[in-house]
């Protein structure tokens, strides 16, 4: 719909940010049913409620509701604790609800439990309101300046400083740009700032109601980790540790070989693939290129060996591309060039407790939601070598009836891409 004829509406700056934003690129369960409530990812500033006070006060009403659902026979859990607690030494996790206006289902997986939840749990999800989180490339000096004035958001930055060992908020607000743009800094910065945007929204009038209405989430490349944290799949701290390692592993993989990324503007995906095929005929196997980011009609990012990218750029005009834009990234993200990062991610993910998300989180790899923690871990490990299916993700959400979406975090890249897929889509940006 928006292929070649509309490509001229893309400013080069937005093209570069849009393509880069996803380049940098998760047992036995306890079931609770809740009615007409939704996510409560909430940093707390008061003492946590003791476990004994979080007994089964709502179990009777939950049990009555459970008969209307066909779900695994598993134990009802007690009311939720917050996703993050400022007054505790360790992470706590909120239990999000998902579903439509009838009932919400919430799951947690006990540490050390062995049984797997069905990965098909979210297959029939019907989205109404979505949170969308940006990826690498959305960062900009000055981000976090507004969010720092919200106590709950300030706590997130403080926790991040303790984990990272440096003042993340200072770099976000003051730069320098070169430091913020580095893969090892920008990934943690965007993760934390995007969740800080959730707290900024919560602090506004009507913000909690918006958060409560969200029944699906996703993120562009790195943003998938943010979405999983929001959905309660892992703690804020564990997510940040994963993101930190991810950035370091991807940078190291990029340093190991000469590679690059380029955004191809003004062609549909079939034409871009033909362009890649033509370039690959002239370079050795180690230099070949492929589509790495399926962003939106008329905007696709290609990654590969430096020679392959140069050949592709030279041929683009003959394929009627409007332009190509070389991206300022460390290397060929979302291709086999990132293979050295996979084993490090696998080891880190294996050591991380991940539970079933409380609302569907759409994967970049296959544009599907996954409920099984082991499946999520495998997908996250392979994400860095797999093309990002963002265009399919957005189209699927809209075709399933998505009414409203919110972009949370720095920049407005996601909103621009969504509008490119469907200009009538209702999306609002919540910056930080």
Q: Any idea which residues carry the catalytic annotation?
A: 221, 334
Strands 43-44 and 84-85: parallel
Token duo for residue 170: 């200072």
Q: How far apart are CA 205 and CA 311, in angstroms?
A: 53
Q: Positive or negative CA dihedral for 237, 365, 357, 231?
A: positive
| All residues at 6 or more sequence positions from 178 whose CB lies less than 8 Å from its CB, including other chains | none
Q: How far apart are CA 378 and CA 400, in angstroms?
A: 26
* DSSP classification of residue 399: H
Q: How far apart are CA 293 and CA 404, in angstroms?
A: 24
Contact of 429 with 407, CB cutoff 8 Å = yes
Token duo for residue 416: 């621009």
Q: Positive or negative CA dihedral for 192, 142, 165, 81?
A: negative
| All residues at 6 or more sequence positions from 11 whose CB lies less than 8 Å from its CB, including other chains | none
Contact of 398 with 425, CB cutoff 8 Å = yes
Query: What does the CA dihedral 288, 293, 295, 301 come to, rounded to 10 degrees?
Result: -40
Q: Residue 291 pairs with which residues in a beta bridge?
A: 302
Contact of 198 with 40, CB cutoff 8 Å = no
Distances (CA, A) of 376 to 107, 222, 290, 372: 15, 14, 24, 6
Q: How far apart are CA 11 and CA 416, in angstroms?
A: 11
Contact of 68 with 100, CB cutoff 8 Å = no
Residues in the chain: 432
Token duo for residue 292: 């790495």
Q: What is the DSSP string of 148-171?
A: GGSHHHHHHHHHHHHHHSS-HHHH
Q: Which helix (H) or strand (E) holds 72?
A: none
Q: Residue 208 pairs with which residues in a beta bridge?
A: none
Q: Which helix (H) or strand (E) holds 129?
A: strand 129-133
């Amino acid at each position: 719909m928006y292929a070649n004829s509309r490509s001229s509406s893309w400013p080069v700056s937005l093209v570069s940010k849009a393509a880069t934003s996803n380049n940098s690129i998760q047992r036995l369960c306890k079931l609770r049913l809740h009615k007409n409530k939704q996510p409560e990812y909430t940093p707390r500033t008061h003492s946590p409620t003791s476990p004994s006070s979080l007994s089964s006060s709502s179990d009777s009403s939950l049990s009555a509701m459970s008969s209307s659902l066909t779900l695994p026979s598993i134990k009802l859990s007690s009311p939720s604790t917050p996703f993050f607690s400022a007054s505790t030494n360790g992470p706590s996790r909120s239990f999000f609800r998902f579903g439509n206006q009838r009932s919400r289902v919430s799951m947690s997986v006990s540490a050390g439990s062995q049984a797997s939840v069905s990965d098909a749990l979210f297959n029939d999800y019907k989205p109404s309101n979505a949170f969308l989180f940006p990826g690498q490339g959305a960062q900009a000096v000055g981000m976090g300046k507004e969010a720092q004035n919200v106590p709950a958001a300030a706590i997130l930055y403080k926790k991040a400083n303790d984990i990272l060992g440096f003042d993340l908020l200072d770099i976000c607000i003051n730069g320098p740009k070169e430091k913020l743009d580095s893969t090892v800094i920008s990934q943690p910065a965007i993760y934390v700032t995007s969740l800080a945007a959730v707290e900024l929204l919560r602090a506004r009038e009507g913000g909690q109601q918006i958060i409560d209405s969200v029944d699906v989430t996703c993120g562009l490349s790195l943003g998938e980790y943010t979405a999983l944290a929001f959905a309660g799949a892992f703690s804020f701290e564990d997510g940040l540790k994963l993101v930190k390692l991810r950035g370091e592993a991807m940078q190291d993989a990029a340093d190991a070989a000469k590679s690059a990324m380029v955004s191809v503007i003004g062609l549909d995906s079939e034409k871009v693939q033909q362009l890649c095929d033509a370039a690959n005929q002239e370079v050795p196997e180690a230099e070949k290129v492929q589509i790495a980011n399926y962003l939106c009609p008329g905007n696709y990012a290609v990654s590969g060996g430096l020679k392959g990218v140069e050949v592709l750029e030279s041929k683009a005009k003959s394929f009627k591309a409007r332009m190509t834009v070389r991206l300022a990234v460390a290397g060929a993200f979302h291709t086999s060039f990132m293979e050295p990062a996979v084993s490090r991610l696998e080891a880190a993910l294996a050591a991380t407790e991940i539970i079933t998300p409380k609302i569907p989180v759409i994967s970049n790899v296959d544009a599907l939601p996954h409920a099984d923690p082991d499946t999520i871990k495998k997908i996250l490990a392979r994400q860095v070598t797999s093309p990002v299916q963002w265009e399919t993700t957005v189209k699927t959400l809209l075709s399933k009836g998505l009414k409203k979406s919110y972009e949370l975090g720095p920049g407005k890249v996601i909103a621009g891409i969504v509008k490119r897929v469907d200009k009538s889509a209702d999306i609002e940006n919540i910056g930080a």
